[in-house]
Amino acid sequence: MSGYSVVVADNLCNSSVEPLRRIEKLTGQPVTFYNIDLRDEPALENVFAQENFDGVIHFAGLKAVGDSVTNPLGYYDNNLLSTIVLCRVMARHNVKQLVFSSSATVYGIQASPKYVETMAMAPVNPYGHTKAMIEQILADLCMSDPTWRITALRYFNPIGAHPSGLIGEDPNGIPNNLFPFVMQVAVGKRPELIVFGNDYDTVDGTGVRDYIHVVDLALGHIAALEHDPEPGSYATYNLGSGSGSSVFEVVDAFKTASGRDIPYKVAPRRSGDLAIYYADPSKANRLLNWKTAKTLADACADGWKWQSQNPNGYAS
Ligand code: UD1
């Protein structure tokens, strides 16, 4: 616990209030909640009129790559407008510290698989474009008014769960991402994992990603909030471990953690996937004094605790 009082605003389009109740149980602190859409400016104005904020962490956004390809307008509308309205309301209330959830997806295809913040952004799908456009908006905002302090955190692949097993990932429908899919196969909700390609030029032919435990990710946000950059500065940081794991390595680690079999079938590559990428986290290590402390095995143990205790997610 870092000693902050937390206020949450969410339209619940992809979540529920149950995790907030569980956070209250874990921390013994109340969490004030507003069920609003960030694009609703009068509603957000009302939140800022009632509360007294030191800073804002902006997590709100749609994040499924496939959906963003079929519904680009919905993605641009939700992700961009929510950020613009939020910044406008923050400015009116003189709250000018913002930490934004960006993504490794802003890098797209690069000459090297080791992504570093100095690389030019080159996203390859509408979801990635929304993150890159928001980063540009935030950089321009800092430039226009030096009293802002804005940090964009580029997440690599977040996995795992809170070690209590009380809070974890509960995707709607069929999971798009590897880790929740593996968890659901282990608990018996799905018959088998489909491995998207085993013919990549990697250690075992499957895709390699930089998986990061959600608790390390959360601590990266605290480090960003507490870091005191120059006013008017806009900064980006990679939040990753600096090394990658293959799909088969994740499956093996989860088998060990759960003691369950994870049946799988190899299918063709998923369109848009890259063979391998991982973070260069040295900027966050150096300037935020932050680095990952948890391993893939820790993430699998905590993920299994969550999934086995909550086989149907928060509805369990
Ligand atoms: C995906 C998004 C990325 C986003 C991130 C958020 C794509 C192309 N990219 O990253 O933009 O920021 O999620 O968490 O969707 N895999 C399987 N079987 C599955 C699912 C995945 O083999 O059922 C493989 C993939 O081919 C990949 C690895 O597992 O090699 C990780 O996939 P995933 O968890 O979807 O993450 P990314 O594709 O890296």
pLDDT per residue over 35-49, tens digit each? Answer: 999 999 999 999 999
Whole-model pTM: value is 0.97
Domain membership of residue 2 (yes or no) is no
Pocket-forming residues, ligand 1, beta carbon under 6 Å: 63, 65, 103, 105, 127, 157, 176-178, 181, 193-196, 207, 209, 247, 270, 272-273
User: 10 Å Cβ neighbour count for 254?
Assistant: 27
Domain membership of residue 297 (yes or no) is yes
* Contact (Cβ atoms closer than 8 angstroms) between residue 106 and residue 118: no
User: 10 Å Cβ neighbour count for 266?
Assistant: 14
* Contact (Cβ atoms closer than 8 angstroms) between residue 116 and residue 107: no
- Run of H or E including 150: strand 149-155
Domain membership of residue 184 (yes or no) is yes
* Contact (Cβ atoms closer than 8 angstroms) between residue 210 and residue 280: no
Domain membership of residue 52 (yes or no) is yes
Task: Report CA-CA distances (Å) from 269 to 71, 209, 238.
Answer: 23, 15, 26
Q: Which mutation among 109, 159, 177 tests ligand 1's pocket best, with the greatest number of atoms within 8 A of CB?
A: 177
pLDDT at residue 228 in the model = 80
Reduced to 3 states (helix: H, G, I; strand: E, B; else coil), residue 256 is: helix
Domain membership of residue 1 (yes or no) is no
- 154 CA to centre of ligand 1 in angstroms: 15
User: 10 Å Cβ neighbour count for 249?
Assistant: 16
CA dist 290 and 315 (Å) reads 34
CA dist 35 and 9 (Å) reads 6
CA dist 275 and 46 (Å) reads 46
Domain membership of residue 81 (yes or no) is yes
Q: Which two tokens stand for residue 224?
A: 């960003």
pLDDT at residue 1 in the model = 67
* Contact (Cβ atoms closer than 8 angstroms) between residue 231 and residue 265: no
Q: Which atom of ligand 1 is nearest to the CA of 181?
A: 23
Q: Which atom of ligand 1 is nearest to the CA of 196?
A: 22
Domain membership of residue 26 (yes or no) is yes
Domain membership of residue 124 (yes or no) is yes
Structural domain count, the chain: 1
* Contact (Cβ atoms closer than 8 angstroms) between residue 254 and residue 263: no
Q: Which two tokens stand for residue 118?
A: 């100095």
Find the CATH number of the domain harbouring 271: 3.40.50.720
Q: Which residues of 86-113 are buried (b: 16+ CB within 10 A; e: fewer)?
A: bbebbeeeebbbbbbbbbbbbbbeeeee
Q: Which atom of ligand 1 is nearest to the CA of 193?
A: 23
In tens digits, the chain (316 residues) has pLDDT values of: 678 999 999 999 999 999 999 999 999 999 999 999 999 999 999 999 999 999 999 999 999 999 999 999 999 999 999 999 999 999 999 999 999 999 999 999 999 999 999 999 999 999 999 999 999 999 999 999 999 999 999 999 999 999 999 999 999 899 999 999 999 999 999 999 999 999 999 999 999 999 999 999 999 999 999 998 777 789 999 999 999 999 999 999 999 999 999 999 999 999 889 999 999 999 999 999 999 999 999 999 999 999 999 999 998 7
Segments forming the whole domain that contains residue 59: 7-315
Catalytic residues: 127
